[in-house]
Amino acid sequence: MQPLSTTWCSQQQFGSASSCEYIAQIHCLCLPRVFEFLSLRRNRKGLTTLREPSTQTVSDRPTTGASQRETLGLLIGFFLLSTAAAAYEIAPASILPVIQESLKLKASTAGWLVSIMYATAVVTSVPAGIAIDRFSVRRMIIFGTVALVVAGVWGWYAATAGTFLWLLVSRVLGGVAYVIFWNAGANVVGSAVASHHRATVVGVFTASAPVGFALGQFGSPLIATIAGWPAILPLYAAMGVVGVTIFLLATRRHVPGVNASAPDRTTLRKLFTNQAVWIVCVLCFLAYSLYLFVNTWLPSYLVNRFGISLAASGLLTALFPAIGALGRSSSGVVSDRVFGGERRPVVVSSFVVATPVVVAFAFVSQLWLVGGAVVVVGFAIQLVTGLLFSYIVELVPPPVRTTAVSLLTSVGLLGAFAAPIAAGTIIDRAGYGPAFLVAGGVAFIGVLLALRAPEPK
User: What percentage of the chain carries pLDDT values higher than 70?
Assistant: 81
Which pLDDT score, from 0 to 100, does residue 5 have? 40
- For 4-451, which CATH class? mainly alpha
| Segments making up each domain of the chain, as ranges | 4-451
24-35 average pLDDT score: 45
Assess whether pLDDT exceeds 90 at residue 11. Answer: no
pLDDT tens sequence across 411-439: 998 988 888 888 888 888 888 899 999 99
DSSP 64: -
Q: How many CA atoms lie within 13 A of 174 on its CB side?
A: 36
pLDDT of residue 309: 67
pLDDT the model gives residue 159: 94
Q: Provide the pLDDT for residue 1.
A: 41
Identify the weakest region by mean pLDDT among 117-121, 158-162, 295-299, 417-421: 295-299
pLDDT score, position 243: 95
What pLDDT was estimated at residue 4?
A: 41
- When the pLDDT of each residue in the chain is averaged and rounded to a whole number, the result is 80
Q: Is the pLDDT of residue 188 over 70?
A: yes
pLDDT, position 28 = 46
What is the average pLDDT across 297-326? 75
Cα distances (Å, whole numbers) of residue 71 to 63, 75, 133:
11, 6, 20
Higher pLDDT, 349 or 26: 349
DSSP assigned state of 252: S
The C-alpha atoms of residue 233 and residue 215 are separated, in whole angstroms, by: 13
Q: Give, for 376, the enclosing helix (H) or strand (E).
A: helix 367-391
Pick from 389, 387, 35, 363: nearest CA to 187: 389
| pLDDT band at residue 444 using 50, 70 and 90 as cut-offs | very high
Nearest in space to 325 (alpha carbons), one of 16, 27, 13: 27
E-assigned strands of 228-301? none
| Angular region, 204: left φ>0, alpha ψ -120 to 50, beta rest | alpha
Tell me the per-residue pLDDT of 375-399, one tens digit each, with 9 for 90 and over: 899 899 988 888 898 888 888 887 7
Taking alpha carbons only, the member of 413, 417, 358, 404 closest to residue 385 is 413
Predicted confidence (pLDDT) at residue 147 exceeds the cutoff of 50: yes
* Structure-derived torsion over alpha carbons of residues 208, 291, 137, 151, reported in degrees to the nearest 10: -80
The values of phi and psi at residue 257, to 5°, are 75, 15
**Other beta carbons less than 10 A from residue 44's beta carbon:** 11
The predicted model scores a pTM of 0.72
pLDDT, tens digit, 9 for 90 and up, residues 243-270: 999 999 988 877 765 555 666 778 788 8
Of 22 and 210, the structure prediction assigns the larger pLDDT to: 210
Tell me: pLDDT of 299 over 80.
no
Query: Which range, of 10-14, 130-134, 162-166, 453-457, averages the lowest pLDDT?
Result: 10-14
